[in-house]
């Protein structure tokens, strides 16, 4: 292609969005910011619009969109502001954008991410819910739209890099025996089990290795994040649940591994910095500087591995259960988790109540085959109502 890639950043005010803009800023000759978006944090989006002068901006919340629109007008910036789900879908499918970073956290990211897939974009996927909730429909949209799907989660990006040259996401590689997803174990990997009831939101979001948003930090602490990634990996790489194994690796140096049928295990190593997979996907198959520090293996010293304790991490057990059940179970798992984590962060429930809420909602749900994206959304909404009902 000629000229810089025109990039749409969905969820630009989050940690992945900010990291994406940091990488883009290092390569102005290669990338240009076409559009940005946020949910309601319009003041942060205003700061980004002042810096990047995008043609379009989308804000999920209508009130926040109005405030951004007025502020941009006062600054004399001609960025057009769209709002709501339709606005997010519009910038994701914008004909002038060739690259879309899908970094909106949660189910709200499903519709614009699917829109980008249908529009045939180079799609950098950091929204795991798109695959957890609607894997079959999402992968069909990628294929039908001719999109180029590149994973951004450090684990899935690592696996992608360890697969044969020319690999396209969704394809099965017969020579692969299994995928090994590494997990840090979060801040409570070795905490006494009896202490977990007293965990505070501040403790849960203090990840030992990664800088992430609050919701995903809690998911990392409970290891729900790894359960969702396991489901995502099955769709991305054409694997069964039994071919994906979770391994705790506290140092977060090896980001994941691929074992081949001849016994070879290929691993991708790097500093725990999300700019590494972002730069990899933005420029793929070329390599560009990410701004991340070089990996110091001597400083890293020992690399340890252990199996996850499902008593300590009941959310991972629930995710495994939902993955094996399939059909609508992962939709319910994700929805109940989002509501439970929100309640924990708002101090309405304790840390160990998160898996209790999820288990109760799964028990109430009668699993069914998914018929359409509208059906997915209906099940998601029903599971959220059930979770809120349990929370009073």
Share of the chain above pLDDT 70, in %: 99
* Residue 35: φ, ψ to 5°: -155, 155
Beta bridge partners of 91: none
Q: What is the pLDDT of residue 1?
A: 57
Can you give the pTM of this predicted structure? 0.93
Q: pLDDT higher for 105 or 237? A: 237
Q: Which CATH number fits domain 5-151: 3.40.309.10, 3.90.1300.10, 3.40.50.720, 3.40.50.970?
A: 3.40.50.720
Average pLDDT over residues 285-298: 95
- The alpha carbon torsion through 215, 217, 222, 225 (nearest 10 deg) reads 80
Rounded mean pLDDT, 47-69: 98
Helix or strand run (H / E) with residue 318:
helix 314-325
At residue 59 the predicted structure's pLDDT band, cuts being 50, 70 and 90, is very high
- Higher pLDDT: 44 or 130? It is 44
Distance, CA of 195 to CA of 341 (rounded, Å): 18
pLDDT at 97 over 70: yes
Q: Is the pLDDT of residue 212 over 80?
A: no
Q: Using 50, 70 and 90 to split pLDDT, how confident is the model at 131?
A: very high
Q: Which of 101, 104, 110, 126 is nearest to 5 (CA)?
A: 101
Name the pairing type of β-strands 148-151 and 99-102: unpaired
Q: Is the pLDDT of residue 208 over 80?
A: no
pLDDT of residue 190: 92
- Across the range 215-225, mean pLDDT stands at 94
Mean pLDDT calculated for residue range 184-196: 93
SS3 annotation, 169-194: CCCCCCCEEEEEEEECCHHHCCCCHH
- pLDDT for position 74: 97
User: For residue range 368-378, what is the model confidence (pLDDT) as tens digits?
Assistant: 999 999 999 99
Q: Provide mean pLDDT across the span 65-81.
A: 98
Torsion of CA 24, 27, 33, 38, to 10 degrees: 10
Lookup result for tokens 């999109």: 147
Element of type H or E holding 246 = strand 244-248
Is the pLDDT higher at 107 or at 283?
283
The 8-class DSSP code of residue 82 comes to: E
Is pLDDT at 156 greater than 70 in this prediction? yes
pLDDT per residue as tens digits for the range 239-291: 999 999 999 999 999 999 999 999 999 999 999 999 999 999 999 999 999 99
Domains of the chain, by residue range, sit at 5-151
Asked if the model's pLDDT at residue 135 lies above 90, the reply is yes
pLDDT number for residue 176: 98
Cβ atoms 331, 379 nearer than 8 A: yes
pLDDT given at position 94: 98
Confidence of residue 299 (pLDDT cuts 50, 70, 90): confident
Average pLDDT (67-83) is: 98
């Amino acid at each position: 292609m000629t000229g810089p890639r025109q990039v749409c950043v969905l969820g630009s005010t989050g940690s992945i969005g900010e990291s994406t803009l940091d990488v883009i800023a290092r390569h102005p000759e290669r990338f240009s910011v076409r559009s940005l978006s946020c949910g309601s944090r319009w003041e942060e989006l205003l700061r980004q619009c002042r810096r990047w002068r995008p043609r379009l901006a989308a804000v999920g919340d209508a009130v926040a969109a109005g405030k951004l629109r007025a502020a941009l007008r006062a600054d004399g910036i001609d960025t057009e502001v769209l709002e709501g789900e339709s606005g997010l879908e519009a910038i994701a499918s914008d004909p002038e954008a060739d690259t879309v970073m899908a970094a909106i956290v949660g189910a709200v990211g499903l519709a614009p991410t699917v829109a980008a897939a249908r529009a045939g974009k180079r799609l950098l996927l950091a929204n795991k819910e798109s695959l957890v909730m609607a894997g079959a429909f999402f992968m069909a949209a990628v294929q039908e739209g001719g999109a180029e799907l590149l994973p951004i989660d450090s684990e899935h990006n690592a696996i992608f890099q360890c697969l044969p040259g020319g690999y396209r996401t969704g394809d099965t590689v017969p020579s692969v025996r299994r995928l090994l997803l590494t997990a840090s174990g979060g801040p409570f990997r070795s905490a006494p089990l009896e202490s977990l009831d007293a965990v505070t939101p501040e403790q849960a979001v203090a990840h030992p290795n990664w800088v992430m948003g609050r919701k995903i930090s809690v998911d990392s602490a409970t290891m729900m994040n790894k359960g969702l990634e396991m489901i995502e990996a099955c769709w991305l790489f054409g694997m069964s649940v039994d071919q994906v194994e979770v391994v705790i690796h506290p140092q977060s140096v090896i980001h994941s591994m691929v074992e081949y049928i001849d016994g070879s295990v290929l691993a991708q190593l790097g500093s725990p910095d999300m700019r590494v997979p972002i730069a990899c996907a933005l420029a793929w198959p070329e390599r560009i500087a990410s701004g991340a520090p070089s990996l110091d293996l001597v400083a890293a010293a020992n690399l340890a591995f252990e199996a996850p304790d499902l008593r300590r991490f009941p959310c991972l057990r629930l995710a495994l259960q939902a993955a094996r059940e399939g059909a609508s179970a992962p939709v319910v798992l994700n929805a109940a988790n989002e509501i439970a984590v929100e309640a924990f962060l708002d101090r309405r429930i304790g840390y160990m109540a998160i898996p209790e809420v999820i288990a109760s909602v799964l028990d109430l749900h009668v699993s069914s085959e998914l018929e359409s994206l509208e059906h997915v959304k209906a099940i998601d909404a029903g599971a959220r109502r059930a979770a809120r009902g349990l929370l009073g």
